[in-house]
Amino acid sequence: MSMREQIVDAAERVIRDLGLARCTTKEIAEGAGCSEGTIYRHFRSKEDVFLAVLAERLPGLPPVLRALPEEVADEGEVRAALQQVAEEALAFYRESMPVLLSVFAEPRLLERHREWTRVNDAGPQRAAELLADYLRRAQRAGLVSRDADPAAAARLLLGACYLTAYGGGSAVPAGGPEAPREAGAFVRQLWRTLAPAERPAAPGERRATR
């Protein structure tokens, strides 16, 4: 592991253990086994160390959402995709919550992080956009109700996951056994607004049950 990686790892541990307000370059240096001067050979400022933690050490939702299929075959696939997204979102928010909440305590760092997400096409707003795009594809395929609002549905699902992670805190293991159950409850409720209207069955056709 390079010295830069050791510094980022140490900064993540200090942030999680002490919070951002008490995360000093001295604490980071002690955790990385280096001098404070070494930190500044790899980073211009302490803020840059924090941004590296956010960018490199937290799991990301956009890669999962970008992997959603371009073409959707049936309603079961849509529900399975929503279940996967909800489980990943719960894991992401639970893992990242201690670090992300610390960032809100530092206005300048928060603004720099928001700028980083804009430049790198990342962040919570991008996750919602990608999920909404998937739901629109499913809607065009007739697998989501024409009356549904994909953007609102995406924010509702991800918002529910965020709220659940916030309420549970970091004590709840990311990806624990309760995640599928919680995610399933969100998806079942959301599907009531997303499910397409029933069409009349053709002669001899068996109606699939939802």
DSSP label of 208: P
Residues 50-72: tens digit of each pLDDT: 888 877 877 678 788 889 999 88
Note the Cα 185 to chain centre separation in Å.
Answer: 18
**One-letter identity of residue 165:** A
pLDDT above 90 (res 190): yes
Counting residues of the chain whose pLDDT is more than 90, the rounded percentage is 47
pTM over the 0.85 mark: no
- Residue holding tokens 């201690």? 98
d(CA 74, CA 160): 25
CA distance to 7, 104, 121, 136, 192, per residue, from 132 (Å): 37, 26, 15, 6, 17
**One-letter identity of residue 194:** L
Domain annotation for the chain: domains and CATH numbers: 3-53 (1.10.10.60), 59-194 (1.10.357)
d(CA 63, CA 84): 13
